[in-house]
Amino acid sequence: MNSYPHPIIAREGWPFLAIAVIVALIASVTLGAWSLPFWLIALFVLQFFRDPGRLIPLDPKAVLSPADGRIVVVAKAHDPYANREALKISVFMNVFNVHSNRAPVDGKIEKVEYFPGKFVNADLDKASIENERNALVIKTSNGETVTCVQVAGLIARRILCYVNASDLLARGQRYGFIRFGSRVDVYLPLTARPLVVVGDKVSATETILAEF
């Protein structure tokens, strides 16, 4: 898969932004100063779909954050997608975070699994097993398994994933997007050493979640 050519605004947002701006322009002509709320909506859409490029850390042992947001889980948990006990690190994204998702490690995708589900608050841990989600099980070059799961949230209604089983991923590669609030769960080997704690704010690709 080719690297995503970061165009500042994510391609998923172009139709939404175009509609918001057109509506705001029409409101400006017909409503004058009362069109301000429509321009605020357009501004919100613009900031939600921003998609900046990121610098990739050089440390080959680093597991990078797949999303912007706040750490809500760092704990031992069962990884149902690779059927193992693992270290789970979860990143919660609110509507003001960048929502493009990026690969946490270099590796080959062993499987991609999509599960329909509910849309409870993604800040709650039960969202990991109850909400709509899409999981990638990745095998790294040194034989470790890393599972990365996109989880829809209370408002999110669309998980987008652009990779398939057998694809090769590079750290920091953009592989998907979740619209309007969500979370990403990362399951790592129990030998991984976490470098974040609950409450930490993280940036996709640039923040190192753990090392193994």
* Catalytically active residues, by annotation: 182
Report the alpha-carbon distance of residue 33 to residue 83 in Å, rounded.
Answer: 58
Which residues are bridge partners to 186 per DSSP? 89, 148
E strands in the chain: 8-9, 50-51, 62-64, 69-79, 84-93, 100-102, 107-115, 133-139, 145-152, 159-161, 168-169, 174-178, 182-188, 193-194, 201-202, 208-211
Relative orientation angle of helices 36-48 and 14-31, to the nearest 10 degrees: 170
Place of tokens 């947002």: 13
CA distances from 36 to 15, 45, 48 (A): 21, 14, 18
Contact between residue 149 and residue 184 where contact means Cβ atoms under 8 Å apart: yes
The C-alpha atoms of residue 158 and residue 29 are separated, in whole angstroms, by: 33
For the record, the structure tokens of 123 come out as 């800040």
Strands 69-79 and 159-161: unpaired
